[in-house]
Amino acid sequence: MNKAIIGKKLGMTQVFLSDGTMVPVTVIQAGPCTVTQVKTTERDGYDAVQLGFETVSERKLNKPQLGHLSRSKVVVKHLHEFRLEGPAPEVGTTIGCDTFAEGDYVDVTGITKGHGFTGVIKRWNQHRLKETHGVGPVHREVGSMGPISSPSRVMPGKNLPGHYGVEQVTVLNLSVVKVDKERGVLLVKGAVPGARNSIVYVRNAVKK
């Protein structure tokens, strides 16, 4: 059976393994999540499990949201679907961080940090222009846009300044270093996308 959970990125730290190796880890508050809906091929056209995370006050949700959550008898802020193989859990079932075990490999999906409007050097890792005669007054600009005679336009796909960040990124094959059931956290080796306290989705690795 596949495993998945919704979590919150708390930050990064480091741990020492039994052989003395120092490992950088990301601390993820994984769950507890509640199964709010189970979708089936017969009724919905595909199989999926919808999980809810982070309890909130009822006044922060509208009537359609409260009606959707009435069956699971929880009031949660975040919902996300996972397509899992194997028998689906029942609505109302609670899933904690102990669904994963030390040594498991997981894929973590999150929204990257926003950097606002940035130039091509930061956004696309381009080189700056030469700081010699005939180049100024701007040395961090885009550079040549193409020939002026033909096609006399900027071709599609040109790397240009613009909004950088705030996009969904998935990091594959991260190993679970430790599972702390008492604190409800996962320690995952390496970095995961997103700022502190951002929502991440953890599921077992699909390519491992």
Give residue-wise pLDDT tens across range 137-164. Answer: 888 888 888 888 888 888 899 999 999 9
Per DSSP, what are the bridge partners of residue 118?
Answer: 162
| pLDDT of amino acid 95 | 87
> How far is the first Cα of the chain from the last one, in angstroms, to the nearest whole number?
15
Q: In angstroms, rounded to a whole number, what is the distance separating the alpha carbons of residues 147 and 120?
A: 20
| Residues carrying CATH 2.40.30.10, the chain | 4-115+168-204
More confident residue, 116 or 68: 116
Residue 97 has pLDDT above 60, yes or no: yes
Which helix (H) or strand (E) is 63 found in, with range? helix 63-69
> What's the residue count for the chain?
208
- The tokens for 56 are 């909130």
| Residues 113 and 167 sit within 8 Å (Cβ to Cβ) | no
**Structure confidence by residue, pLDDT tens digits, 19-64:** 888 999 999 998 788 888 888 888 888 888 899 898 888 888 889 8
For the record, the structure tokens of 61 come out as 């949700």
For the domain made up of 4-115+168-204, the CATH class stated in words is mainly beta
